[in-house]
């Protein structure tokens, strides 16, 4: 949020509001519970699966939105910056690209570990 605030001059009012909305959306608590409730209601999760996700939501506390929205928010913000022709050397652009690269590396490492373990 600080990176966005420090570079607010790069964006129109509407663009700034869109980015701010994305930052706030990704940090909302209770997102895992919402997904669990919706999928359970549709019959796509068993009672036990839904309850497990609700427990994880409780354990994540205020960070549960990050569990399910992190990559989505990063990608959407990067697309916006690209479409708006934001300078790629801006601090916000660099921060988002680094975070996306780190998330990708973590997923690749986890995937490789699962393959190596045969799961």
Position 118 confidence tier, pLDDT thresholds 50, 70, 90? confident
Domain span at residue 79? 2-117
pTM score of the predicted model: 0.76
Specify the number of domains making up the chain.
Answer: 1
Mean pLDDT of 11-25: 92
SS3 for the chain is CHHHHHCHHHCCHHHHHHHHHHHHHHCCCCHHHHHHHHHHHCCCCCHHHHHHHHHHHHHHHHHHHHHHHHHHHHHHHHHHHHHCCCCCCCHHHHHHHHHHHHHHHHHHHHHHHHHHHCC
pLDDT value of residue 66: 82
In this predicted model, what pLDDT tens digit does every residue of 41-75 receive, in sequence order? 999 999 999 999 999 999 988 888 888 888 889 99
């Amino acid at each position: 949020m600080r990176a966005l605030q420090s570079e607010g001059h790069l964006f129109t009012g509407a663009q700034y509001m869109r980015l701010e909305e994305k930052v706030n959306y990704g940090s909302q608590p209770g997102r895992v519970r919402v997904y669990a409730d919706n999928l359970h209601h549709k019959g796509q999760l068993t009672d036990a699966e839904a309850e497990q996700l609700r427990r994880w939501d409780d354990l994540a506390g205020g960070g549960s939105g990050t569990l399910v929205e992190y990559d989505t928010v990063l990608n959407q913000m990067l697309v916006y910056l690209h479409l708006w022709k934001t300078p790629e050397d801006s601090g916000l652009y660099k921060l988002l690209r680094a975070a996306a690269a780190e998330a990708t590396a973590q997923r690749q490492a986890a995937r490789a570990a699962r393959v190596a373990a045969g799961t």
